[in-house]
Structure 1
Amino acid sequence: MHVLIVEDNPDIIANLYGFLEPLGYTLDVARNGNAGVACATGSCHDAIVLDLSLPGMDGMEVCRTLRREYQLTTPILMLTARDTVHDKLAGFEAGADDYLVKPYSLPELDARLKALVRRSRNEHVQAVLTFGELRLDAGIGRATRAGQPLDLTPTGYKILSALMRAAPRLMTREEIEREVWGDNPPESDALRTHIHTLRRVLDKPFPQPLLLTLPGTGYRLAAPDET
């Protein structure tokens, strides 16, 4: 699980790394609100652990910015010492998915993160994703381009779904591999083969390519104004 920690307290950061990394988590850290927004919108994460008391932009404003300005749907778990009902309601109104009051149990944090990610992935199953002339109905497992059905492999479907959720942002190879294979990607260069197959289905029958490659880095979908 890939988690972004937005926290300025070095002791708390060290505790989170010490507990979560041995459980298999991949962690990124941002130490202020502005850095948190940049990191959250510049990379794919399964969840965000967000402290409220941050230098500069506080956690509440970070949450509102991610939800309203960037339309980010990544689950957000707020950490705070504020424990009144009013504080919790304000956090949920800002866009938080869960709220954990300090001091908290690290095993409980782990359990809440896993529950948030499970719920988030279930929501994706029901979602209809659209981007330009692409449409992916996860409820029935069907994808189309300009109304024409796309005959995708199961892995191609997962890759296209990930690219559509991120679009038009570039996804690194590592991000796509994590989306498709979780924490156990294949050792071979399987992703390149699956991208080749996806491109043949997605782009070959159409005049304009949608699946773009940044050599050595990753892939993205072309925005409608690029086609």
Structure 2
Amino acid sequence: MNEIRVATPRETPHDRAPRILVVEDEAALALLLAYNLESEGFQVEHVERGDEAEIRLAESVPDLVILDWMLPGVSGLEICRRLRARDDTRTMPIIMLTARGDENERVRGLSVGADDYVVKPFSTPELMARVHALLRRARPERVATRLVAGDIDLDRETRRVKRGGREIHLGPTEFRLLEYLMEKPGRVFSRAQLLDSVWGLSAEIDERTVDVHVGRLRKAIIRGREKDPIRTVRGTGYSFDETFGRN
């Protein structure tokens, strides 16, 4: 095969669950959202202010944002507009929460780039369904059972990796690292980005640790003269070679 492909859509394991940022200044509502999202298997972050959300989004891009319209600092409407102007967040799913229910306000929210618009008070099961639907459309690779590139086959359900039919034994960190790189072939990730996404936001690990684990991953998946699927970008980081497997 010459391209990344995904198999039958299924939900990802918890440790690779999509990350959702909740931007909501009502503490009780934010707690309710976080509880229900985590119950659905998502990783959840929460900030209360619009300016805090902008800082967090500049550090790391989540898979989806649930964004309140009225926020201290910067309004949700303005945040949505700015996110749509950025290349790395242009297509990121955004659900706008608001107490404004009239049609003109709905149109305004959608016109600045929100993918969905939910009026308070809302049905929690309905909101969860909308979250799942947006993620399926926006990031099908995040809900796929398998990732396949060339002769490398990564199965998320069994946590197994094969290359050319042979079993490759990876540690948990190397598995997550390969999985994350395969999700976005060709995209270059800095060491800080990989630490953030593979090790976790709270990880206090030196960036050079990434190099060690990339070295272990390469040693495990490459035999003899087999092509290296991981590309090192000097001074920047690593990517999964989008040309891997092509003749």
**Does residue 200 in structure 1 map to residue 200 in structure 2?**
no
Opposite residue 153 of structure 1, the aligned amino acid is: I
Once the two structures are TM-superposed, the CA of residue 176 in structure 1 deviates from its matched residue by 4.0
CA distance in 2, matches of 1:210, 1:48: 30
Which structure 2 residues correspond to residues 1-227 of structure 1 after superposition, within 5 A? 1-72=18-89, 73-122=91-140, 153-155=152-154, 156=178, 159-162=181-184, 164=186, 167=189, 170-173=192-195, 175-176=197-198, 193-194=216-217, 197=221, 200-203=228-231, 209-210=232-233, 220=238
SS in 1 for 2:44: strand
CA distance in 2, matches of 1:102, 1:43: 28
**Contact 1:170–1:220 (Cα < 8 Å) also in 2:** no
CA deviations 1:22-46 (Å, max 9, x no partner) are: 3322210111111112212322422
SS in 2 for 1:172: helix
* More contact order relative to length (CA 8 Å, sep ≥ 6): 2
CA distance in 1, matches of 2:185, 2:59: 14
Provide closer, same or farther for how the CA distance between residues 167 and 159 of structure 1 changes in structure 2, counting only shifts above 3 A: closer
Tell me the TM-score normalized by structure 1. Answer: 0.64
CA distance in 1, matches of 2:94, 2:105: 16
CA distance in 1, matches of 2:191, 2:96: 25
**Contact 1:171–1:220 (Cα < 8 Å) also in 2:** no
**Contact 1:163–1:220 (Cα < 8 Å) also in 2:** no
CA deviations 1:120-150 (Å, max 9, x no partner) are: 02499xxxxxxxxxxxxxxxx87xxxxxxxx
Once the two structures are TM-superposed, the CA of residue 68 in structure 1 deviates from its matched residue by 0.4
Greater percentage in helix: 1
CA distance in 1, matches of 2:53, 2:218: 31
**Contact 1:64–1:94 (Cα < 8 Å) also in 2:** yes
Tell me the TM-score normalized by structure 2. Answer: 0.59
CA distance in 2, matches of 1:158, 1:167: 10
**Contact 2:69–2:75 (Cα < 8 Å) also in 1:** yes
Q: Which moved more, 1:2-11 or 1:190-199?
A: 190-199
Give the length in aligned residue pairs. 177
Q: Which moved more, 1:167-176 or 1:82-91?
A: 167-176
Provide closer, same or farther for how the CA distance between residues 220 and 64 of structure 1 changes in structure 2, counting only shifts above 3 A: farther
Provide closer, same or farther for how the CA distance between residues 123 and 92 of structure 1 changes in structure 2, counting only shifts above 3 A: farther
**Percent of residue pairs bearing the same amino acid type:** 31
CA distance in 2, matches of 1:171, 1:161: 14
Opposite residue 53 of structure 2, the aligned amino acid is: G
CA deviations 1:76-95 (Å, max 9, x no partner) are: 11000111222112111211
Opposite residue 25 of structure 1, the aligned amino acid is: F
Opposite residue 116 of structure 1, the aligned amino acid is: L
CA deviations 1:86-112 (Å, max 9, x no partner) are: 211211121111111100011111111
